[in-house]
Amino acid sequence: MNSSIKVRGERVDMLINDRVNSISNQGKNGDISDYIQIIPNSQSSFTPSEKPITIIKSFIQDRNTIKNMVKEMIGLIQNQYPAINQDQMLDRHKDIFYTVDYNPIFSDTKRIMLDILLGGNLDKFLFTSKIFKQLIEFYNINLRVDNVPIEYKSAPQVIYYPQGGGYFDWHSHPKLPTNYGMCLCLSEVSKVNSKSREISPQEISYASMNEGQMMFRDKDDIIISTDGLIDTGDLLIFDFGIDHCVSPCDVFKPLSFNGHGHWMAVHSLQKD
């Protein structure tokens, strides 16, 4: 294994090993259709299946909208909002801020990522607000449980895992009241392996990546990888109580928060 990867922590190596041993879309180690249902675009009606994971293809069909949302988020990071520091007390439901996490010492869950919390008035971000309104409407119609405690509110969030090893280690959440997790892919996937040209570092208004999607682990310790199944605009829905992680993004590239890598929009319910 490349020594530059080990500098980022042994968890990166372990997650790469988990990905190698996972059930994948190539049919290795098992039938992925036992765990994942893949359906065409359906924003009007949706019924969860008994399978713990669902992928809705092209939930957001307009790639220019997604491209402009990522551009808005990069502008937020670069020009408008500072990263939170230890002296700040901010409210994720009222404030807009971001954190940069590089294997934080005081966290049980290791990670390399940039986390944007979008409380307050989202309307100042034209494309971001448009996408989150669709996500929240879909959640409220199709996935929200009855009698959610009043202190739990929708918490728009964008997470960026940089190329060069951005990841989020295995973790889980209480299933209720969120019930289902929702992650929308905002990155161009596998440009290097397609006929499309590879995006240059100068074009940081949009992101490209190869591998580093979410993985899931069931009660029998079977690991399911979504690499190769997800592209720009696809919506991943999963049982909020199942163990999950984001596997390392493009580990053999230099680690840099330059805009390239795995961007996702996340919806959940969080306590006020």
Per residue in 194-250, pLDDT tens? Answer: 344 454 544 444 577 888 999 999 888 999 999 989 999 999 999 999 999 999 999
Confidence of residue 138 (pLDDT cuts 50, 70, 90): very high
> Residue 178: is its pLDDT beyond 90?
no
pLDDT tens for 139-172 read 998 888 888 888 888 899 999 999 999 999 999 9
Q: Residue 208: what pLDDT?
A: 79
Q: What's the predicted TM-score (pTM) here?
A: 0.88
Q: Residue 186: what pLDDT?
A: 95
Choice among 31-45, 62-76, 134-148, 158-172 with the minimum mean pLDDT: 31-45
Q: How far apart are CA 175 and CA 148, in angstroms?
A: 12
- Tokens 């020594």 correspond to 3
Q: How far apart are CA 132 and CA 136, in angstroms?
A: 6
Q: How far apart are CA 241 and CA 219, in angstroms?
A: 11
Q: Hey, is 96 helix, strand or coil?
A: strand
- Tokens 């551009």 correspond to 71
Give the whole-number percent of the chain exceeding pLDDT 70: 83
Its sign, for the CA torsion 20, 25, 30, 32, is positive
Q: Residue 12: what pLDDT?
A: 86
**Tokens encoding 174:** 């209480």
pLDDT tens for 74-96 read 988 887 666 665 456 678 888 88
Classify residue 175 by burial, with Cβ atoms within 10 Å: 0-12, 13-18, 19+: middle
The rounded mean pLDDT for the chain is 83
> Residue 40: is its pLDDT beyond 70?
yes
Superfamily of domain 3-271: q2cbj1_9rhob like domain (2.60.120.620)
